[in-house]
Structure 1
Amino acid sequence: MRLVQLTVPTGKRETILKTLDDREIDYVVTDEKSNREYTAVVYFPLPSAAVEPVLDELQEAGIDDDAYTVVVDAETVVSRRFESLREKYETGNVESERISRQELEAEAESLTPTFGIYATMTVVSAIVATAGLLLDSPAVVVGSMVIAPLIGPALGASVGSVIDDEELVFESVLYQILGVVLAIAAAALFAWMVRVTNIVPPGLDIAEVGEISERLTPDLLSLAVALGAGVAGIVSISTGISVALVGVMIAAALIPPAAAAGIAIAWGEPSAAIGSTVLVLVNVISVNLAGLVTLWYAGYRPEGIFSLAPTEARVRKRVAGLALVVLVFAVFLGAITYSSYALATFEEDATSEIELVLEDEEFAQYQLLEFEVTTDQEYPFLGPERAVVTIGGPPGEGSTALEDEIYERITAQTNADIAVEIRYIGLVER
């Protein structure tokens, strides 16, 4: 529910009150003495779904942007006419559940802080995320998402597109670009300082850190996170639900991979930064695409009827362009996913083949203790480089035949040029 406070321009009083009477809207009028341009202030309650059509009709009656229109939340309205009004506008479909276009625009603008605060909070969140990744601490990484101010710019571009506010679109896109650059740069600088001052152990292999490695080789499932964040963000902002938790979800799609890219750059491994950088970009685009489609589906349109056709054409072009870019990135992520799948399949098949060899009576005295695959570090498409097989058996004994058989079975599972190392550990029964 909303309470609308509207200043009445000189000569428009009867027209405005007639409009409210025709719609059976209760109102209170107070005379205005402070300004000759306005003769009164009208207060009237409305269901949330009625705000946009009523304000549009009042604007057609002569209320322009120079007049003061204030829309605030109303906790309770007790009125039979209001209940009838609610039944008229709240039909249970998507459009009846959303806030007005005017409120949406104000909400999108309020979610974007001034550039100084935005830049500061983005840098801080990137530094915290970098620390969390290097510590391999999911809790710290989640903390970095909470302070990231990304939801405003991430959703502002979509809002500006559907309501024909190109200034909001430009500002939001600019903020997003600068946010990504600042996050990666801040993460790289902080990670470099940590490395050269030996705050982390010298020789730390970032590929061995779980929180980092999973973002250096992203897969197609990452798209689901970004698309879900975009839809959830728009649903939250357009229905007046708290967007705090959704902001964390959007930050989850952007800040940790940006920090991982910065760490890879600081470690002198630019190829390792490719996957996480692509993940950041595709997530940014996916959030915008999901938000744009969701807003248009929810029924948001520009204010003027003559702006509808150009805006619709522009939105379609942007959706098509964003979808095309997401598709290209999806192919790239699909290739990474396939590479990871092939690596996992090789390890599983090779393990099965070794176990089959050891089931032979000739090698009954041996058992597989461990099978480890080392990747080639050619990010983001990792492949097997070396396989280490640890065999347990009688002390001081080895088998050339076993070694040859294991080597053939392992190399048959991959087209890569892979080195095979077989280690023996003596087992003594007591």
Structure 2
Amino acid sequence: MLHLRLIVPAARTDDVVRLVESTVGTAHLVVLPGAARDPAGDVVMCDVAREAGDELIRGLRALDLDRTGSIAVEDIDLSLSRRADRAETEAPGEGADAVLWEGLAEATHEESTLSVTYVAFIALATMIAACGVVLDNAILIVGAMAVGPEFGPLAGICTAVVERRPRLALRSAVALLVGFAAALLLTVGFAYLMDGLGLFTRVQLEAERPNTNFIYRPDAFSFVVAVLAGIAGILSLTSAKSGALVGVAISVTTVPAAANAAVAFTYTEYRQAWGSAEQLLLNLLGIALAGTVTLLAQKWLWRKAA
């Protein structure tokens, strides 16, 4: 179930109440006249089954409530109510399959915005991966994958394509490109520093590295895994199962590939650098394509079910 808290101009309260009452899957309607101060108006609260949430939110936006008032939505972790159980039963479809498109757009907006924190995370993840490739340490590679925040902009691009939001697409692309460019530059500097301290050496990079040489040797499986990870990542976002994102993050070699490219460039190992760049591009392309197709499929299936 979802809980909606609405601030409604007094002149539109009746319209909002009628909309809530006519939406299948709603429960626990509460109206507090004159309770809101900024903006001034009435407060309307209700619970709605997740599978009916997108329809209700679209209706509220059609009433311009997002401009004249406020729409706040939060997940309900526990609801002990027969009325709520009945509302979920009446709502069409399954809550686990429902996509809150407004919520998805908002989530990807936050995750795909270029910020100091975002750049810091992707740079730190790339530096950790650089240590992993030089030491041929798979544990460090996995740790770097988990730290990397690059799935946010990729999900933003997928959402922007499906929802036709050019601003979100531009913001996500900028975050992705600038983030990786900054991470590469900082990791090159980090590699020079570690080399100066005697902690990185050309011999380590040129060694066989059985645990990490796949990073600069892309093959068909690189793209296949990226596609599967892209599908899983989008499903985890749309079904609110964010825990699965960790598994997605450590499935693809985006950050490690960028790290290996930076270290290889530092030592003028251009063959490795190019192979790592190919690995990076294959993973980014696979995730973006799979994520977009997954969202399109979800939208089509949900419309067909409704």
The TM-score with structure 2 as length reference comes to 0.87
Q: Higher helix proportion, which one?
A: 2
| Paired residues for 1:138-287 under 5 Å | 138-200=138-200, 203-204=203-204, 206-243=206-243, 244-246=245-247, 248-249=249-250, 252-287=252-287
1:210-264 CA deviation, whole Å, 9 max, x = no partner?
A: 24432222211111221122111110110111144145236x4201111111122
The answer to whether the Cα contact below 8 Å between 1:49 and 1:99 also exists between their aligned partners in 2 is yes
Shift of 1:145: 1.6
> 2:265 is aligned with what amino acid?
I
Aligned match of 1:88: 90
User: In structure 1, the residue corresponding to 2:77 is in which secondary structure?
Assistant: coil
Shift of 1:180: 2.4
Q: Which sections of structure 1, spanning at least 5 residues, go unmatched?
A: 302-430
Q: Return the structure number with greater relative CO, CA threshold 8 A, min gap 6.
A: 2
Q: Take 2:248 and 2:69, find their aligned partners in 1: how far apart are those partners?
A: 33
The answer to whether the Cα contact below 8 Å between 1:111 and 1:152 also exists between their aligned partners in 2 is yes
Q: Take 2:63 and 2:287, find their aligned partners in 1: how far apart are those partners?
A: 38
Q: Take 2:104 and 2:123, find their aligned partners in 1: how far apart are those partners?
A: 28
| Paired residues for 1:2-401 under 5 Å | 2-23=2-23, 25-26=26-27, 27-35=29-37, 38-92=40-94, 97-112=97-112, 114-200=114-200, 203-204=203-204, 206-243=206-243, 244-246=245-247, 248-249=249-250, 252-299=252-299
1:122-141 CA deviation, whole Å, 9 max, x = no partner?
A: 11111111111111111111
Shift of 1:46: 0.7
The TM-score with structure 1 as length reference comes to 0.64
Shift of 1:202: 6.2
Q: Take 1:229 and 1:91, find their aligned partners in 2: how far apart are those partners?
A: 25
> 1:249 is aligned with what amino acid?
I
1:332-390 CA deviation, whole Å, 9 max, x = no partner?
A: xxxxxxxxxxxxxxxxxxxxxxxxxxxxxxxxxxxxxxxxxxxxxxxxxxxxxxxxxxx
Call closer, same or farther: CA 1:253–1:189 in 2, change over 3 Å.
Answer: same
Shift of 1:114: 5.0
Greater gyration radius: 1
Call closer, same or farther: CA 1:284–1:127 in 2, change over 3 Å.
Answer: same
The answer to whether the Cα contact below 8 Å between 1:225 and 1:253 also exists between their aligned partners in 2 is no
1:153-208 CA deviation, whole Å, 9 max, x = no partner?
A: 12111112222222111010111112222333333332233334432456445242
Q: Take 1:228 and 1:187, find their aligned partners in 2: how far apart are those partners?
A: 28
Shift of 1:32: 2.2
The answer to whether the Cα contact below 8 Å between 1:153 and 1:172 also exists between their aligned partners in 2 is yes
The answer to whether the Cα contact below 8 Å between 1:206 and 1:213 also exists between their aligned partners in 2 is no
Call closer, same or farther: CA 1:29–1:268 in 2, change over 3 Å.
Answer: same
> 2:179 is aligned with what amino acid?
G
> 1:254 is aligned with what amino acid?
T
The answer to whether the Cα contact below 8 Å between 1:206 and 1:212 also exists between their aligned partners in 2 is no
The answer to whether the Cα contact below 8 Å between 2:108 and 2:156 also exists between their aligned partners in 1 is yes
> 2:249 is aligned with what amino acid?
V
Shift of 1:107: 1.6
Q: Take 1:294 and 1:261, find their aligned partners in 2: how far apart are those partners?
A: 30
> 2:86 is aligned with what amino acid?
S
User: In structure 1, the residue corresponding to 2:68 is in which secondary structure?
Assistant: coil
Shift of 1:17: 1.5
The answer to whether the Cα contact below 8 Å between 2:8 and 2:68 also exists between their aligned partners in 1 is no
> 1:248 is aligned with what amino acid?
A
Which stretches of structure 1, 4 residues or longer, exceed 6 Å deviation after superposition? none
Q: Take 1:62 and 1:265, find their aligned partners in 2: how far apart are those partners?
A: 53
Q: Take 2:132 and 2:222, find their aligned partners in 1: how far apart are those partners?
A: 20
Shift of 1:298: 0.9
Q: Take 1:73 and 1:241, find their aligned partners in 2: how far apart are those partners?
A: 12
The answer to whether the Cα contact below 8 Å between 1:154 and 1:288 also exists between their aligned partners in 2 is yes
> 1:49 is aligned with what amino acid?
E
The answer to whether the Cα contact below 8 Å between 1:9 and 1:39 also exists between their aligned partners in 2 is yes
> 1:183 is aligned with what amino acid?
A
Q: Take 2:247 and 2:296, find their aligned partners in 1: how far apart are those partners?
A: 20
| Aligned residues with identical type, % of pairs | 22
> 2:68 is aligned with what amino acid?
D
Aligned match of 1:335: none
Q: Take 1:267 and 1:229, find their aligned partners in 2: how far apart are those partners?
A: 32
Q: Which sections of structure 2, spanning at least 5 residues, go unmatched?
A: 302-306
Number of residues of Structure 1 aligned to a counterpart in Structure 2: 298
Shift of 1:85: 2.4
Aligned match of 2:304: none
The answer to whether the Cα contact below 8 Å between 1:136 and 1:211 also exists between their aligned partners in 2 is yes
Aligned match of 1:327: none
Report the more deviating stretch, 44-53 or 25-34: 25-34
User: In structure 2, the residue corresponding to 1:199 is in which secondary structure?
Assistant: coil
Q: Take 2:14 and 2:205, find their aligned partners in 1: how far apart are those partners?
A: 76
